[in-house]
Amino acid sequence: MHKLLSVLTVFTAFGPLGAAAPGPLPPSGLRCEYLVHAMGVDVASPRLFWRLEHSERGARQTAYQVLVSTTPSVSAGDQWDSGKLASSQSTHVAYVGKPLESGTTYYWKVRYWDQDGSASPYSAVTRFDTGLFSDGDWKARWIRGGNQLRKEFQLAANPRRARAYVSGIGYYELRLNGNKVGRHVLDPGFTAFDKRILYVTYDVTDHLRQGANAAAIMLGEGWYRGRAAILQIDVEMADGKKLVITTDGSWKGAQGPILSDSIYNGEEYDARKETPGWDLPGYDDRAWAPVSLDDPPKGVLSAQLMPPIRVVGDIVPLRMTNPRPGAYVYDMGQNFSGWVRLRVKGPAGTVVRLRHAELLYEDGTLNVENLRRARATDTYILRGDPEGEVYEPRFTYHGFRYVELSGFPGAPKLDTILGRVVHTDVAPSAGFASSKPILNQIQRLVFWGTKTNLHSIPTDCDQRDERMGWLADAHLASETAMLNFDMAAFYTNFLRSIRDSQDATGAVPDVVPATRRGPADPAWGSAYPLLALYMYEQYGDRRILEQHFEGIRAWAESLRSKSENGTVNFVKYGDWVPIEPTPGSLVSSAYYYWSVDIVARAAEILGKKAEAETYRKLAEEIAAAFQKRFYNPESRTYANATQTAMTLPLYLGITPEALRRQVFANLRDDIVYYKNTHLTTGIVGTKYIFPVLTQLGRADLAYELATQTTYPSWGYMIENGATTLWELWQNKTGPSMNSHNHPMLGSIGAWFYTALAGINTDPKSPGYARIRIEPQVVRDLQWASGSIDTLRGTVSSSWSRTPNSLRLEVTIPAGSTAEIHIPKLNLADLTILEGNRPVWQNGAYVAGIPGVTGARDGGGDIVLEALSGSYAFESIGR
Ligand code: BGC
């Protein structure tokens, strides 16, 4: 009910009776390229974002003024003064001032004019930093030489400004004068290193000081399976003098306490080999070897413009058992990605082992069978500090719920270890809750399953010897991810990685970055057009479509080259891990159609008329060929009549209008009568069956499937102890493929927001500029509440009901408009009140409610037209 409460608070603060100061308030939430205080922006014309704040309903922007300056006060827009520009745009506003300089800090602020022409005060000043724009800006060289690298340098005074540009592959940690710089872990993000390597820009002004300084870098193997680093610190002194500290041949290297590190196998750390003081000035490194200058890796250096991987939180173990002598097993109570922190005291040379697993055997010992070849073991060798020692690994991570501790000197306690949750630190941007506990439990699985599979790329799983960017997993889970987290910068980066791995034929690999060769299964590679489309729909990102238009067109063409008479037989996985398999050619052909359809849509959006026509026509031909090949007019089903086979053409609109009802009736019968209200779908069908049931008026059936607790269902996972989403519907624990943390079946999470809370963006006015609120009030659901923190501001929808009334509270951000559907629920003599005043009565719209501009009878619901603001509707009938 928390969400309901917060909606209420907003309502009373800013509602029609609210007493807040009238008029436009300073814009908030300023961002550049989706990031707050973006560092290292290497985009020539970065896009700026702000949120409109206003005390009244119906608020919108009619003009804005942006000032960008290199001086912090921004008293003038010496780099860019947009002037008062008539425009409603408050997101993705492209910087068009003086050409941006490399390695510079830009400060900016914005104000806007509202619907009445009143100007808001200016926002608070914010900033972004540019990165290094060209190869020539990089003075540093790649170096290698052991897993610890160091260099001392002198500064004549404390610097006025200092920026570090750094990367190191596979993984690195930058340290200055004894301190870790920043809170990132497991940098850089995973890319195809022969194409692109990501660097990070840090403000290190406060890390440096007059006199001797030390720069130090630790390296791990990561995905590169080798070690090399590059660092450049650009320093500006108070007197304007500039100097550059770079990795070069004068650095020294040595092998430190990390004996080995591997993403899958874990880290071995011998604390006796630590080199205290090595990251401080004055350390005697005469025994260290000079580094070797490395041939630069082939990939270009690009700024890492997405949220970093961080330790985002701690988990205290629930319990500790001692299932066999010397082995203690901790239950963290939650499956997650990361590692544990160990506290230990004992003699030097004691070897302590931490093994990680998702599962236990009946006897309480660890079951690591489903990790396959990943050893997931961290080893710590004590230095023998009488004060005790603390260890946590640096260059590995595990997916686990249970930890086995062995070799521990003495008797461990519950607080001997602490869970450290590690993943890309995307901000949670939404919430969903309802009166049905099982839905809230599924939301929890989805939340954990989604975020713990974000590790700079969307991973398939976080525990076994895989953890890769499998593309079907990526697109099937992406809408759910976008609705629950702020994913825009993350997928912007990932889309670029997909393009980086596209070959000359337009094909992309199944896995990005490509750790496997060969063209993708159509359902996998279609992540390319699909993610671009979702970025456009959810975030309103048109530039993504521009940048990737040729790429997604080439992808569609690669499918065309594989097609015969309009359908595609090429398939590797199809509707993966189903209960009832669907012919792969049907799935591949559906994605062929969809890819072409997205190219046509993108061309329409971008005003590419010729391409729009070509691909629209091609899409129609594919639909006709699909229909001809897979539709069975006698049974009015498709192919082998599985749920997936019927869902895909319905979802994509391939089924001709006149046949939709009949096909749908067969789908419904299959679910209800033949499968006793259970799914038979794999990962593909599972995502689309919920919207299909909802669109065709059977949200109640979708709800029954969602709340099912017997096999196969999410409830079945929960009843069998799941705390993240499983890879399979089956409860397997053996050595075969059965991860217990795979995000792909989390596609259901999107349906909670779009159907139960009823929050939808209009694809024609994407990014929630135009919103459709259409909650599904079904079966025994008494209330549901969803709230999404969009780029334009919060959108929320919360409803609750009694036998003869429905209360619906809605928030629409300033600048957006909405169509609000209030279900009639078969009530007679319906009256709809807003703040105690009628807006619908005696079968007609009653004008006069601020912000509501009209209403109509939509059949099963009353459809209100509303401007921005917070509303509380009460619909009462008999
Ligand atoms: C991965 C999947 C992936 C699949 C391809 C598995 O090993 O974990 O989720 O999509 O292979 O079939």
Rounded to the nearest whole angstrom, what is the distance from the C-alpha of residue 650 to the centroid of ligand 1? 26
Calpha distance 611→617 (Å, rounded)? 10
Out of 460, 510, 515, give the residue to mutate to test ligand 1, the one with the largest number of ligand atoms within 8 Å of its CB: 460
Asked about 268 being catalytic, the answer comes back as: no
Q: Which of 466, 557, 774, 834 is catalytic?
A: 466
User: Of ligand 1's atoms, which has the minimum distance to the CA of residue 572?
Assistant: 12
Ligand 1: residue whose CA is nearest its atom 9: 460
75 DSSP 8-state letter: S
What gap in Å lies between CA 333 and CA 206, rounded to an integer?
40
Contact between 571 and 587 under an 8 Å Cβ cutoff? The reply is: yes
Cβ–Cβ under 8 Å, residues 315 and 334:
yes
Query: How far away, in angstroms, is 466 Cα from ligand 1 center?
Result: 9
Instruction: Kindly write down the DSSP assignment for every residue of 523-584, as one continuous string.
Output: HHHTHHHHHHHHHHHHH--HHHHHHHHHHHHHHHHHHHHHEETTEE---SSSS-S-SS---H
Counting as low any pLDDT under 50, the low residues of the chain are: 1-19
Q: Is the CB of 472 under 6 A from ligand 1?
A: yes
Residue 236 annotated as catalytic: no
Counting runs of H as helices and runs of E as strands, what totals does the chain give?
A: 15, 50
500 ligand 1 Cβ < 6 A: no
**Exposure string for 695-719, b = 16+ CB within 10 A, e = fewer:** ebebbebbbbbbbbeeebbbbbbbe
Cα(826) to centroid of ligand 1, in Å? 46
* Residue among 53, 267, 580, 727 flagged as catalytic: 727
Closest C-alpha to ligand 1, atom 8 = 460
Torsion of CA 342, 344, 347, 351, to 10 degrees: -30
Q: Find the 574 Cα to ligand 1 centroid distance in Å.
A: 11
473 pocket-lining for ligand 1 (C-beta < 6 Å): yes
521 CB under 6 A from ligand 1? no
> Which residue's alpha carbon is nearest to atom 4 within ligand 1?
470
Q: Is the CB of 470 under 6 A from ligand 1?
A: yes
Non-local (6+) Cβ contacts of 494 within 8 A are: 457, 458, 469, 474, 512, 531
CB of residue 466 inside a 6 A radius of ligand 1: yes
Strand pairing class (63-69; 80-81): antiparallel
What is the rounded CA–CA span in Å between residue 759 and residue 785?
10
Which of 370, 466, 727, 729 best tests ligand 1's pocket when mutated (most atoms within 8 Å of CB)? 466
